[in-house]
Amino acid sequence: MFTRAQVRRILQRVPGKQRLGIYRFLPFFFVLGGTMEWIMIKVRVGQETFCWSAMVRSRLTATSASQGQAILLPQPLE
């Protein structure tokens, strides 16, 4: 692994320290976040993607539950 001095030396080479300060690292985090989101949407493990199938499954469950409630509503006594 990297030592603290090596990490500090690498971080010092990122331009914009005087003008932007710590915010000069934001583009790296935007790219990292976009990459992670792309992986979660596109990458499959077996039959499952990380988030899409879970979202579809939850929508199907909610739809089927609401349809079941609509069918099984008690009828008023006459």
Is residue 38 one of the residues assigned to a domain?
yes
Is residue 15 one of the residues assigned to a domain?
yes
Question: Sorting pLDDT into bands at 50, 70 and 90, what band is 54?
Answer: low
Is residue 40 one of the residues assigned to a domain?
yes
Question: Sorting pLDDT into bands at 50, 70 and 90, what band is 59?
Answer: low
Average pLDDT taken over every residue of the chain: 77
Question: Sorting pLDDT into bands at 50, 70 and 90, what band is 42?
Answer: confident
Half-sphere exposure of 60 (CA within 13 A, CB side): 6
Does position 68 have pLDDT exceeding 60, yes or no? no
Question: Can you give the residue range of the structural domain that contains 19?
Answer: 9-45
Q: What is the mean pLDDT of residues 40-64?
A: 67
Is residue 41 one of the residues assigned to a domain?
yes
Between CA 32 and CA 37 the distance in angstroms is 9
Is residue 37 one of the residues assigned to a domain?
yes
Is residue 75 one of the residues assigned to a domain?
no
pLDDT value at position 2?
A: 85
Is residue 14 one of the residues assigned to a domain?
yes
Is residue 69 one of the residues assigned to a domain?
no
Task: Assign 3-state DSSP to the chain and report helix, strand, coil percentages, each to 5.
Answer: 70, 5, 25
Q: How many domains does the chain have?
A: 1
